[in-house]
Amino acid sequence: MNPVSKGKIAAIIGPTATGKTSAAVELASRFNGEIVSCDSVQIYRGLDIGSAKPQRADMERVPHHLIDRLDPDTTVDAWKYKTLAEEAILDILSRGRTPFLAGGTGMYFNSLYFGMFEGASRDDKVRKELEERAVRDGLGSLLEELAQIDPDSAVKILPNDKRRIVRALEAYRVTGVPLSRLRENNKKLDLDWLIIGLNMERKTLYARIDNRVDDMLRAGLIAETEALIATYGRDAHALQSIGYRHAAEFLDGRMDLTEMTELLKQDTRHYAKRQLTWFRKVPGVHWFNPGQLEQIGQTVAAFLSA
Q: Residues 99-109: what's their mean pLDDT?
A: 96
Cβ-contact 218, 18 below 8 angstroms: no
* Amino acid sitting at position 138: G
Q: What percentage of the chain carries pLDDT values higher than 70?
A: 95
Is the predicted pLDDT of residue 1 greater than 70, yes or no? Answer: no
Convert the pLDDT of each residue in 263-274 to its tens digit. 999 999 999 999
Convert the pLDDT of each residue in 225-277 to its tens digit. 999 999 999 999 999 999 999 999 999 999 999 999 999 999 999 999 999 99
Is the predicted pLDDT of residue 95 greater than 60, yes or no? Answer: yes
Any idea what the Cα angle at residue 39 is, between residues 37 and 44, rounded to 5°? Answer: 90
Helices 162-175, 124-137: crossing angle, 10 deg rounding? 130
Cβ-contact 296, 27 below 8 angstroms: yes
Mean per-residue pLDDT over the chain, rounded: 93
Domains and CATH numbers, the chain: 8-115+187-305 (3.40.50.300), 120-184 (1.10.20.140)
Choose among 87, 100, 83: nearest CA to 34: 100
Residue-by-residue DSSP string for 18-37:
S-HHHHHHHHHHHTTEEEEE
Q: pTM for the complete prediction?
A: 0.83
Is the predicted pLDDT of residue 122 greater than 80, yes or no? Answer: no
Convert the pLDDT of each residue in 3-15 to its tens digit. 334 799 999 999 9
Cα→Cα distances 124→41, 79, 179, 278, Å: 23, 19, 16, 10
Convert the pLDDT of each residue in 10-58 to its tens digit. 999 999 999 999 999 999 999 999 999 999 999 999 999 999 999 999 9
- Report how far residue 201's alpha carbon sits from residue 138's, in angstroms, rounded to the nearest whole number: 44
